[in-house]
Amino acid sequence: MFIAHLPAGYLATRLILERHPAPEPLRRRMLVLGMAASVLPDLDLLWFYFVDHRRQVHHAYLPHLPLAWIALFAAVALVLWMGRARRTAWLAMLVFSANILLHQVLDTVARGIRWLWPFSRAEFALSHVEARYEPWYLNFVLHWTFALEVAILAAAWYAWRRRPSPG
C-alpha cells in the first residue's frame, strides 16, 4: 500500500470506537493512537534507506512480521490481565493491535508479507506490483491496487465529513 494506511487506520479506529464508546477526550487520543499505529510498521523504511541501503525489501524487517507483533500483543495482554487493567488500557491495546495488523493485511494486497515467520520465509501476497515504469512510484499509481487505496481514502474522507460535531 502506498497511501491507504493512515485513512484505513482512521476508519478502523472509528469502527472500534463505535463498538466501544468512549468520552470525547479519550476518543481523540484513541484516534491518534490508532492512526499512529496504522503507519508504525513503515518506520522500518528509515532502516531500509539509511542503514541497510535498500539491500532487502523492508517487508522482511521485524516491524512487518505479524507473528512477532502477535507475540508482543499476547505478552501485553497477559500483563494487562495480571494487573487487572482498566477498560481504557484494554481499549488502547485493541486500537493499537488492530491497526498494526490492519497494516499487515493491507500490505498483503500489493506486496508480500511473511505471515508465518519465523516458521517460514514464504511471502503471501494478493498481487505483485511489477517494476515497469520510471519513476518508480508510477508502478504503484498505475496498478489496480491503487484504486483500492483511493477508495479507502474516499471512505475515510466521507466518514470524517459525516462525523458528529463536538458541540
* Percent helix, percent strand, percent coil in the chain, to nearest 5: 65, 0, 35
Establish if 22 belongs to a structural domain.
yes
Question: Mean pLDDT, to the nearest integer, of 99-107?
Answer: 98
Segment 121-159, tens digit of pLDDT: 999 999 988 999 999 889 999 999 999 999 999 999 999
Domain that holds residue 33: 5-161
Segment 63-75, tens digit of pLDDT: 999 999 999 999 9
Residue 77 in this model has a pLDDT that exceeds 80: yes
- Dihedral sign, CA of 27, 29, 34, 35? positive
Give the pTM: 0.91
Establish if 124 belongs to a structural domain.
yes
Number of domains in the chain: 1
User: What does the pLDDT read at residue 55?
Assistant: 80
Establish if 78 belongs to a structural domain.
yes
pLDDT band at 93; cut points 50, 70, 90: very high
Question: Mean pLDDT, to the nearest integer, of 21-31?
Answer: 96
Question: Bigger pLDDT: 164 or 108?
Answer: 108
- Give helix 24-39 / helix 87-110 axis angle, nearest 10°: 30
Cell of 54: 535498500
User: What does the pLDDT read at residue 165?
Assistant: 64
Half-sphere exposure of 129 (CA within 13 A, CB side): 20
User: What does the pLDDT read at residue 60?
Assistant: 87
Establish if 96 belongs to a structural domain.
yes
Establish if 166 belongs to a structural domain.
no
